[in-house]
Amino acid sequence: MAVFTHINESDLKEFLKNYNLENLNYFEGINEGIQNTNYKIGVDSKDFILTIYENINDIDDINFFLNLMMHLSKKNIMCPTPVKNIENKSLGTIKSKSSALLTFLKGKSVSLITKYHTEEIGKALAELHMSVKDFDPIKNNDLSFNGWNKMIEKNKLKLNVIEDGLYGKLKNEYTRIENLWPKDLPQGIIHADLFPDNVLFLENKVSGLIDFYFSCHDFFAYDLSICINAWCFDGDNNFSEENFKSLIKGYQGVRNLSENELNSLPILCSGSALRFLLTRVDNLNNSNDIDIVHYQDPQEFLKRLRFHEEISDIEAYGYDK
């Protein structure tokens, strides 16, 4: 979430006419994240999220994300639900940009992560994976391992500025990951970005999953590996075996992981760490002083990638199969 497109009260009221919503109480930009413009707005004493799509130009992709959220909401997965306008459409425009009005979910993201949070995340992720079995549309993962090598080449100079020789080291690591990448794991639609800022909690229970704009078709265990990287390291990049075990426990309580999935987690974790390292480096190329955006440090995932490089099996994470 971020603010790239700045709107005024007149812009917003014109947009809301298409929803038969008139009494605008307030609106405020949300400055977390880097993908789309988001505003929290109050209308007729109800809260909503207005999302303006900045980097998603394909209308089919936007409709995929909106239809996915609608599907998950019907399956009782707590996520934003697209609001239909007077034309029974989920997608509209504001300032000539594709936009959607979404329901607002109560709760807050957590900064001090405990095993209770990761167990809840494991459950929520598995419930999401179970809920997409009858969701037919397929969207390929635009940020899969097939594209990481191109991103390494694109950012060669920047990588070597971050650390001398990093370009060559990542080329070697990419080759290792490519050679070990699994080919036959259970798959379906995944969230692909379930970081702490995309999960809301109320009283230590998950109250909402948000920001589905990286969702795609991939291995369920790859989605789990993203959560391991996002939830099982502290602010000093120390790995928490306790959080790892509770994450797997929560997931397995809803959906059993096959032995092949468990054995693939070390290489999947290396892959997801490399993916977020590369996209963070790539995003730094686009930073400026105008947009209200918080750009993220790629060093965080460089350290996590190096941790996973030393892991040969799941037992090395402290997990006893």
- My answer on whether 179 and 306 are in the same domain is yes
Residue 285 lies in a domain: yes
Confidence at residue 286, expressed as pLDDT on a 0 to 100 scale = 56
Confidence at residue 292, expressed as pLDDT on a 0 to 100 scale = 42
d(CA 161, CA 305): 18
Helices 259-284 and 220-231 pack at an angle, to 10 degrees, of: 60
Confidence at residue 1, expressed as pLDDT on a 0 to 100 scale = 47
- 271 three-class SS: helix
Confidence at residue 35, expressed as pLDDT on a 0 to 100 scale = 78
In one letter, which amino acid is 189?
A: I
Each residue of 144-171: pLDDT tens digit? 988 999 999 999 999 999 999 999 999 9
Model-level pTM?
Answer: 0.94
Give the CATH number for residue 174.
3.90.1200.10
- My answer on whether 23 and 165 are in the same domain is no
Task: Determine which helix (DSSP H) or strand (DSSP E) holds 18, and give its type and residue range.
Answer: none
Confidence at residue 285, expressed as pLDDT on a 0 to 100 scale = 59
- My answer on whether 67 and 144 are in the same domain is no
Residue 171 lies in a domain: yes
Confidence at residue 304, expressed as pLDDT on a 0 to 100 scale = 98
Confidence at residue 34, expressed as pLDDT on a 0 to 100 scale = 65
- My answer on whether 282 and 235 are in the same domain is yes
Residue 110 lies in a domain: no
Confidence at residue 3, expressed as pLDDT on a 0 to 100 scale = 79
**CA distances to 87, 268, 290 from 311, in Å:** 53, 11, 42
Domain extent, residue 34, equals 9-103
Number of structural domains in the chain: 2
Given the structure tokens 């089919």, which residue do they identify?
Answer: 60
Task: Determine which helix (DSSP H) or strand (DSSP E) holds 93, and give its type and residue range.
Answer: strand 92-94
d(CA 43, CA 48): 8
- My answer on whether 69 and 155 are in the same domain is no
Residue 108 lies in a domain: no
> Partners of 101 in the beta sheet?
50
Give the CATH number for residue 41.
3.30.200.20
- My answer on whether 87 and 135 are in the same domain is no
d(CA 257, CA 15): 45
CB atoms < 10 A from the CB of 172, how many?
Answer: 9
**Residue spans of the chain under pLDDT 50:** 1, 288-293
CA angle, 128 then 63 then 222, to 5°: 35
Confidence at residue 290, expressed as pLDDT on a 0 to 100 scale = 41
Confidence at residue 214, expressed as pLDDT on a 0 to 100 scale = 95
d(CA 53, CA 220): 26
- My answer on whether 143 and 59 are in the same domain is no
Q: What is the CA radius of gyration of the chain?
A: 20
- My answer on whether 77 and 47 are in the same domain is yes
- My answer on whether 79 and 135 are in the same domain is no
- My answer on whether 127 and 76 are in the same domain is no
Phi-psi region of 44 (alpha: psi -120 to 50; beta: other; left: phi over 0): left
Confidence at residue 284, expressed as pLDDT on a 0 to 100 scale = 80
